[in-house]
Chains A and B, each alone.
Chain A
């Protein structure tokens, strides 16, 4: 693991001030989650020890308190990740709706096992616990976006698009408005 020195860049430094200002004076440690997120975004999607130490310094916390938080949340990556972090939900509702097939398709498409990064550094595949989109199961989270109502075919297409540098549309990958019924509106229908 490389541990390059880390410091917030000018933009993020300004942002940290805004975030810290949301909390009462002397309670700046409350800003640890947003600051870790900021640091992770600046640091190519993962938190190095240097990044965590920098957050600790900015917030005047003991470094170990920051490590505790960073290791607690699965949203923080403590190892380098690819450009696109593909997190496949395999918790019960998604599993019942076919997450095994989605995961297999990802493995096949990317050629890596969960926890691994592709050789070109573009994709990291991982399994995630429930991401709270059960109504659109099965789903994956890639970066900040949720791709929902997937099957092997649609998830492969999403990955293809990403690999080609395109921006696939997040949300349901079937014809459906957010989490409304698949078979069309059932209420507030004209003439019903």
Chain B
């Protein structure tokens, strides 16, 4: 291990450490623009110059490996002068339009110019101007501000895996761009806004709508997919202005998907802000809470027991699901389900519905077999982790299901269950079985079908036969698409004894056996399937679920409540309230709790703490926030005959997967401009 001296302090570092990292380890800050610890080293901004003994010139500390006996100086007058000089050059062509720049207040260039730059300019010649580029509906560009650090180029090429950005031209004529005008096609493209150290790349939807110092920051968790990316919600007043990633090494590192980042305008559009009750004229009319809850209570009581049913949606929080389950248990109804898509999960061991390898664990895997899943759309950050693993080398990915473009090579073995059933005899089987740390990822596309339980069992057999499940490695993974799903399964929101699942509820409603259906944010249920049943919809958006409801109870979106979420790994995380629900809307658990009171059977918890204690009783792991469960291997799935139908990914449009993004104008633009989905006639376009 090399030992070097930095500013008179001796430090021993791991081999492969750079001088800059060594400096950081002893708390010496080195200014930088192009260096980013998650990207390849470029060494082109020269801001990190330091002095090295016996070197005639200053060295770029980000690119210089730490070596034994090095003597580094970071605080000499020469280094100060070097930084001054580099900063002066960087600012030659920079417009210094900080007062009208969205990056102002959170800009690396601004901060470092304050710390290491001069207080006046000596430059009186013309500055260059660069044409702005059109990178699609998400990223606005001000290319004159660009200092050519190439962080965005490296991010898009390496992390996002779609080489679409480059540095064109040379010298003073260098421009970052795509050369051929196009929208970036990555699901992670928004992250280049964060990596840009200046105001060249900004958020288009957020442009000029707030200054960074006016925003209230709330640390929370994302619910647009089941990854549970850690986010920071920035709000001004009662409006969520933007969503940024928050560092979590084991989940999203410091990236988030474009849906997580840009769907926030959906939070203010199409909201349910007051209760509605369908009147005698067949039209929904605004009502007050008392009347609405009275109607609901009367209906539930009148029907009673097994004539009522509840379905929890994909963005329901654990708290509201717990209360809903307790309410229905109390009413004697076993008809409750949290699996809108009918995925065959939840019977048997908890390990049978979790991403057991964990997201960080992907980096240890040797091979990966995808079954009926397109991680790039279902969980872009898991896909990014798979790509990261692929780039480290010695990692092969196979898939059973649709042909995939995951930004790294995937060998397609077949389209459906037949391939899965004959996996042991497949020519790729030898290679797969050889791996001791293999992983299989089963997607909802393989499980949300009538033979789902058999597919699950087949996947389990494969993992066991190839020795991918042992005491210190569990290679069996289920990739969820719904943020609520794991919590729902944990809390037992599956049909009780003799109860009906979603398909059963639909059939019952159609035949009249089910009279009242309670939809807790369930937007993927077609009203037409529910026959003449009385439908209560509790949720935050006037989406599919609310359309045909007879009573609407306005709830809170994920940014508007303190709530618990469990991601696909089974990791319990807390979301926090950033703003208040709109209008008369209330927190979801409180609505169901109030309903239980109106019905005369109040549930035994009056506050969040008591409710969470109840949740811990139902599922003890809710006490361990942010812990990855080491779920015990056990029986799950049901071996049986599988269909012939090929697996399909459950997502046809990455930007349109839930009520919030369907309400979002930004997501609609993405869908249209990036995926070109608007080109099909909708039938209403005249």
Contact = CB atoms under 8 A, between A and B. Distances in A.
B168 A49 contact: no
Interface in A36-89: 49, 62-65, 67-68, 71-72
B169 A64 contact: no
B169 A65 contact: no
Contacts of B165: 64
B169 A67 contact: no
Contact of A72 (B157, B164, B169, B178): B169
Contacts, number: 28
Given A49-B180, A71-B179, A64 B163 contact: yes
Nearest to A74: B170
A67 B169 CA distance: 9
Given A64-B179, A72-B168, 14 more contacts: A62-B157, A62-B163, A62-B164, A63-B180, A64-B178, A65-B166, A67-B166, A67-B179, A67-B180, A68-B167, A68-B168, A71-B168, A71-B170, A71-B179
Contacts of B179: 63-64, 67, 71
A72 B174 CA distance: 8
B163 A65 contact: yes
Contacts of B166: 64-65, 67-68
Contacts of B170: 71-72
- The 4 A-B pairs at the shortest CB distance, nearest first, are namely A62-B163, A67-B179, A64-B166, A68-B166
Nearest to B168: A71
A134 B167 CA distance: 30
26 contacts: A49-B180, A62-B157, A62-B163, A62-B164, A63-B179, A63-B180, A64-B163, A64-B164, A64-B165, A64-B166, A64-B178, A64-B179, A65-B163, A65-B166, A67-B166, A67-B168, A67-B179, A68-B166, A68-B167, A68-B168, A71-B169, A71-B170, A71-B179, A72-B168, A72-B169, A72-B170
Nearest to B165: A64
A71 B173 CA distance: 10
Interface centre among A64, A67, A68, A71 (most CB of B within 10 A): A64
A54 to B, nearest CB: 14
B332 to A, nearest CB: 62
Contacts of A64: 163-166, 178-179
Interface of B: 157, 163-170, 178-180
A68 B168 CA distance: 5
Nearest to B173: A71
Interface residues of A, number: 9
A187 B535 CA distance: 105
Interface centre among B157, B165, B166, B180 (most CB of A within 10 A): B166
A87 B180 CA distance: 27
Contacts of A72: 168-170
Contacts of B169: 71-72
A127 B370 CA distance: 57
A65 B157 CA distance: 10
A113 B169 CA distance: 22
A60 B166 CA distance: 17
Interface in A6-63: 49, 62-63
Nearest to B162: A62
Contacts of A49: 180
Contacts of A68: 166-168
A65 B169 CA distance: 12
Interface string A165-189: 0000000000000000000000000
A60 to B, nearest CB: 12
B92 to A, nearest CB: 20
Contacts of A71: 168-170, 179
B155 to A, nearest CB: 14
Contacts of A63: 179-180
A186 B224 CA distance: 82
B141 to A, nearest CB: 16
A13 to B, nearest CB: 25
Nearest to B167: A68
Nearest to B163: A62
Contacts of B163: 62, 64-65
A127 to B, nearest CB: 14
Interface centre among A62, A63, A71 (most CB of B within 10 A): A71
A72 B179 CA distance: 12
Nearest to A61: B163
Nearest to B178: A64
Contacts of A67: 166, 168, 179-180
A21 to B, nearest CB: 24
A95 to B, nearest CB: 19
Contacts of B180: 49, 63, 67
A109 B165 CA distance: 42
A62 B165 CA distance: 10
B387 to A, nearest CB: 15
A148 to B, nearest CB: 26
A180 B138 CA distance: 62
A65 to B, nearest CB: 6
A26 B518 CA distance: 59
A63 B170 CA distance: 18
Contacts of A62: 157, 163-164
Interface string A121-139: 0000000000000000000
Contacts of A65: 163, 166
Contacts of B157: 62
A18 to B, nearest CB: 27
Contacts of B164: 62, 64
A36 to B, nearest CB: 14
A72 B167 CA distance: 9
A68 B163 CA distance: 12
A62 B184 CA distance: 14
Contacts of B168: 67-68, 71-72
B162 to A, nearest CB: 8
A25 B170 CA distance: 29
Nearest to A69: B166
Nearest to A62: B163
Contacts of B178: 64
Interface centre among A63, A67, A68 (most CB of B within 10 A): A68
Nearest to A67: B179
A67 B180 CA distance: 9
A65 B158 CA distance: 13
Interface centre among B163, B167, B179, B180 (most CB of A within 10 A): B179
A14 to B, nearest CB: 29
Nearest to B157: A62
Interface string A99-122: 000000000000000000000000
A64 B180 CA distance: 9
A18 B167 CA distance: 29
B519 to A, nearest CB: 46
A89 to B, nearest CB: 17
